Chains A and B, each alone.
Chain A
Amino acid sequence: MIIRQISVIFFLSLLLAISGCSGNKTKGDDGDMVGDGIEDGAPTDVGEDDYSSSGLDDDGSVILDPLDDPASDLFVRTIYFDYDSANIREDSLLIVREHGKYLSSSPERLVRLEGHADESGTREYNLALGEERAKSVREILLLEGAQEVQIEIVSFGEERPAVEGTDDAALQLNRRVEVVY
């Protein structure tokens, strides 16, 4: 269901891009009416089937990017990992694939994959581990048709944790790759 919707949106945004509108809206772009899907949407009640189509105006001045649909798998930008592992989990695979498909269909889009590790283990090893995680994500993106030039990789190891804390929950939140468009 979601996938079908996304392809519709792809199609729409492609059309809009071709018709001369900026296809790569980013946060903070002036003059663009559509925000990032949180401010003017219904963030407390997302996931409804028709959410993504709201706000699409006839005059073509409003662009909806599927990245900004809170119901979309593309809205998930953090991929989590197991301890000392760079393997993509089963439950993350679909999400990463969606990002790959999106990049494949939006060749003008660039993405940065930021690999991170939790604080356990040595800092240098974790730097390498963060990069391995980012590379695992890149591999899937490439398999789905994304081009190498679209993808930048950087590892921050354990240096930039998402959350402070030493309990298992905090460590899990820090073992991640952030997909930054």
Chain B
Amino acid sequence: MKRIHNLIALVVVLFSSNTYALLEIEITQGVESAMPVAITPVAGDIPIEATLLESVVFSDLHRSGYFSIIDKKKYPQQSVKLDDVDYPKWRNVGIEALLTMTATAASEGKVRVQFELYDLVRKNRILGHSVTTNKNQLRKVAHKISDLVFEKLTGIKGAFSTRVAYISEASSSKGKKYQLQIADADGYNPRTVFSSSKQLLSPAWAPDGRRLAYVSFENDRTEIFMQDITTGKRTKISSEPGINSAPAWSPDGTSIALTLSSGGDPDIYILDVESKKLRKLTNDYGIDTEAAWSPDGRFIYFTSNRSGAPQIYQVSFGGGSPKRMTFEGSYNAAPSVSADGKFLAMVHRDDSGYKIGLLDIERNSFRLLTDGTLDEAPSFAPNGSMIIYSTRHNNSTVLSAVSSDGRVRQRLRLQKEKVREPSWSPFRR
């Protein structure tokens, strides 16, 4: 408990120094059985940059849920020169890995960052590098360091350098403004990709990380657009009679699964991106929507109320008879598939509202990851370690991330706009 308290204090101090920060981070749950790791204070002659570097790496590693970052008061060394680690002393306080970083001024206003990672159990340096960067790229460098540390210690590729697309809604005297935005995975550096006075919905990343598909009400009905986020070029890809919604790219990028109701009721269709040909995948009297692909592209998961209430089903890419996946509760919807294909995150309703649930497909075991009243739109990180979702908070809607084991939750809070519909990007190619 005390440790958690210290962490919160640290986070507040670190982030209050970043006046340009738009999204605040709060730690809502502690870590109990994660790997104990130390991050010594960042050394060097440029304290502002040092603090930024430390805060970004700290919060990246902490919110992943894999690590418990030990209070600095317990460190036997507050600064460590290269390969000058007092291994026995560090092991005495039960810490397994040590990260040291320096940030020093380089020529032309640049920053030179150096970092080392030590395995305190095997008593050796397992990672180390230096990089010189522009000051405005410092966050990127910090996320890169987090990625490398995460991968070295867990064996899983880090996803801290990835991005999140989402919809924001701002109200003013002129009315409402809806924006499709992209931010770093920790919520910083938001950039607007598309802005409209009409509603936007369901951003979906192409696997190349360069294009987004999304639903726009700009013509007072649903239509699906595709936008290249590097050039800004927009293309209308679906404007059938009725609903055009819930786009989801296939893992190979050649197809988009979407929901159309032109056939009489909402069904899942497969759109071939090149040929523009449509194929009807599901056929049921009720609602079929919210398609999500398995990582191998062989299956599509979707929400259907064919049993009378929304549940998640699986159908082969080629079609055929869908198989029901969820049996717990009377409302399971909006599936997101983990990168290894073994888990489905979803919206699950229980007595007190809508929460994010996780289904272990092989073991057929289900559990809740969150405890909100209106948690929606779960989206897995590309390495499966975390899930981002939207949640109600103080009469607004904010984004939160939860580690896939449910132990660590972190709120990304945009201060003015309501934010929702998060979609975690794939790895950069």
Interface centre among A131, A135, A153 (most CB of B within 10 A): A131
Query: In the complex, are the beta carbons of B243 and A128 less than 8 A apart?
Result: yes
Asked if B287 lies at the interface with its beta carbon under 8 angstroms from chain A, I say: yes
Instruction: Please report the C-alpha to C-alpha distance between residue A127 and residue B259 in the assembled complex, in whole angstroms.
Output: 10
Q: Does A68 contact B (CB under 8 A)?
A: no
CB-CB < 8 A to B331: which residues of A?
Answer: 84, 121
Q: Closest CB-CB distance, B248 to chain A, in whole Å?
A: 10
Q: Does B60 contact A (CB under 8 A)?
A: no
Which chain A residues border B221 with CB–CB below 8 Å? Answer: 154
Any chain B CB within 8 A of the CB of A123?
Answer: yes
Q: Which B residues are in CB contact (< 8 Å) with A166? A: 374, 392
Q: Kindly state whether residue B283 has any CB partner on chain A within 8 Å.
A: no
Cα(A123)–Cα(B217), bound, Å: 13
With A127-B243, A156-B217 known to touch, is A121 a contact of B261 (CB < 8 Å)?
A: no
Interface of A is mostly: mixed
Which residues from chain A contact B420 at a C-beta distance below 8 Å?
A: 123
Taking CB atoms, residues of chain B closer than 8 Å to A131 are 242-243, 261, 266
B201 adjacent to A121 (CB under 8 Å): no
- A124 CB within 8 Å of chain B: yes
Provide the residues of chain A in CB contact with B243, threshold 8 Å.
127-128, 131, 155
Q: Encode contact with B along A108-129: 1 for CB under 8 Å, 0 otherwise.
A: 0000000000011111110111
B-facing residues in A122-181 (Cβ within 8 Å): 122-125, 127-129, 131-132, 135, 153-157, 159-160, 166
Cβ contacts B408-429/A at 8 Å (1 or 0 each): 0000000000001100000000
The answer to whether B245 touches A120, judged by C-beta atoms less than 8 angstroms apart, is no
Given A153-B242, A159-B217, A124 contacting B261 (CB threshold 8 A) = no
CA of A131 to CA of B262 in the docked complex: distance in angstroms? 11
Closest A residue to B217 by beta carbon equals: A159
Please give me the residue from chain A that is nearest to B286 by CB atom: A132
A residues contacting the other copy or chain, number (CB 8 A): 22
A125 touches B374 (CB 8 A): no
**Given A120-B354, A131-B261, A155-B222, A125:B290 Cβ within 8 A:** yes
A122 touches B377 (CB 8 A): yes
| Chain B residues whose C-beta falls within 8 Å of the C-beta of A154 in the assembled complex | 220-221
Question: Separation in Å of the B319 CB from the closest CB of chain A?
Answer: 20
Q: Which residue of A lies closest to B378 (CB)?
A: A122
Tell whether, in the assembled complex, residue B289 and residue A128 are in contact, meaning their CB atoms are under 8 Å apart: yes
Q: Are B374 and A120 in contact (CB under 8 A)?
A: yes
The answer to whether A128 touches B261, judged by C-beta atoms less than 8 angstroms apart, is: yes
**Distance, CA A84 to CA B303, complexed state (A):** 14
B357 within 8 A of A: no
> B334: CB under 8 A from chain A?
yes
B194 to chain A, nearest CB (A): 16
How many angstroms from the CA of A32 to the CA of B222 in the assembled complex? 35
Known contacts A84-B309, A132-B265; A125 and B217 CB within 8 A of each other: no
Structural contact, B309 and A129, CB atoms closer than 8 A = no
Interchain CA distance A166-B373 in the complex, whole Å: 11
| B245 A124 Cβ-Cβ under 8 A | yes
**Contact assessment for B310 and A123 in the assembled complex, using a CB-CB cutoff below 8 Å:** no
Task: Check if B56 is an interface residue, CB within 8 A of chain A.
Answer: no
Q: Is B376 an interface residue (CB 8 A)?
A: yes
Would you call B326 an interface residue if the criterion is a C-beta within 8 Å of the partner chain's C-beta atoms?
Answer: no
Q: Please tell me if the beta carbons of B201 and A124 are within 8 angstroms of each other in the complex.
A: yes
Interface centre among A121, A135, A154, A160 (most CB of B within 10 A): A121
Partner of B289, one of A125, A135, A159: A125
30 contacts between A and B (CB under 8 A): A84-B305, A121-B310, A121-B347, A122-B333, A122-B334, A122-B347, A122-B377, A124-B201, A125-B287, A125-B289, A125-B290, A125-B303, A125-B305, A125-B310, A127-B243, A127-B245, A127-B259, A127-B289, A128-B243, A128-B245, A128-B259, A131-B261, A131-B266, A132-B286, A135-B265, A154-B220, A155-B243, A159-B199, A159-B201, A160-B199
Contacts A124-B201, A127-B259 known; 14 new A-B pairs at CB < 8 A: A121-B333, A121-B354, A122-B290, A123-B202, A123-B420, A123-B421, A124-B245, A124-B333, A127-B289, A128-B243, A128-B259, A132-B266, A159-B199, A166-B392
B interface residues (Cβ-Cβ under 8 A, vs A): 199, 201-202, 217, 220-222, 242-243, 245-246, 259, 261, 265-266, 286-287, 289-290, 303, 305, 309-310, 331, 333-334, 347, 349, 354, 374, 376-377, 392, 420-421
* Residues of A participating in the B interface, judged by any CB pair closer than 8 Å: 84, 119-125, 127-129, 131-132, 135, 153-157, 159-160, 166
